[in-house]
Amino acid sequence: MPDFLEKGGVMKKPNRTELTLKQQRFANEYCVDLNATAAYRRAGYNARGNAAEACASRLLSNVKVQQAIQQKEKISASRCEVNTENVLREASALAFSDIRKLFNTDGSPKSIHELDDATAAAIKSIEVGQMMSEGKVIGRMCKIKLWDKNSAQERLFKHLRLFDKDNSQGALALKGIAVSFVSPDGEVMGVSDIRKPRQG
């Protein structure tokens, strides 16, 4: 049953521009784990199984619900000081990390407090141990593991839409190429002619 607002003993439907109590609850719950079906159930709706999935999907596509979700995420992000600039700064620190900044000129590793912010952000883990020989300590070992640069660079590529440009250029380079499909016994199964896509 849809939510109603009770005023002066009269049951009144909410304004179409406003969210019902359950819709607002759904928006809040969705921001917890981004699981529409689970959020739908936690919001108090009764549908189950495939019906719940379908209803949750339909509710998630509601413009007003989307606006409520975006507002909730915006508030949460501001509290955590999460914004596009900070995220890109962290991704850039990983993507352009330089291992040379971890060491002194004599090859010894720098102390953690000597590292700049970008270099420190690129470090995934540090393991420090002792080198032993015949029961005696003969030195120290420092194992430094960095975050994956390729993943960080890929995120930046996606943000800058460089993949879109590469794919577009790749499509143009394939113009006029014919591809033959051959079975294991050598029989030609078919030919595909890759042509320039129509304009407009």
Query: pLDDT tens digit string along 75-106?
Result: 877 776 666 777 788 888 888 888 899 899 99
Residue 175 lies in a domain: no
Position 13 scores a pLDDT of 54
Q: Specify the number of domains making up the chain.
A: 2
Residue 141 lies in a domain: yes
Domain end: 20, 45, 79, which one? 79
Helices (H), 130-187: 149-159, 162-173
| Domain co-membership, 20 together with 74 | yes
Domain that holds residue 109: 87-149
Residue 132 lies in a domain: yes
Three-state DSSP class for residue 73? helix
Span 2-45, pLDDT tens digits: 444 444 544 455 555 689 999 999 999 998 888 999 999 999 99
In the numeric block, which tokens belong to residue 197?
Answer: 């896509």
Contact between 41 and 86 under an 8 Å Cβ cutoff? The reply is no
| Domain co-membership, 120 together with 59 | no
Span 145-190, pLDDT tens digits: 888 888 888 878 877 776 665 555 444 444 444 444 444 455 544 4
| Domain co-membership, 65 together with 14 | yes
Residue 34 lies in a domain: yes
Residues facing residue 179 across a β-bridge: 192
| Domain co-membership, 34 together with 68 | yes
Contact between 109 and 100 under an 8 Å Cβ cutoff? The reply is no
| Domain co-membership, 58 together with 100 | no
Domain end: 79, 97, 126, which one? 79
In the numeric block, which tokens belong to residue 174?
Answer: 């394939």
Residue 164 lies in a domain: no
Residue 91 lies in a domain: yes
Residue 52 lies in a domain: yes
Q: Report the run of H or E that residue 64 belongs to, with start and end.
A: helix 63-79
| Domain co-membership, 64 together with 112 | no
First-last CA distance in the chain = 48
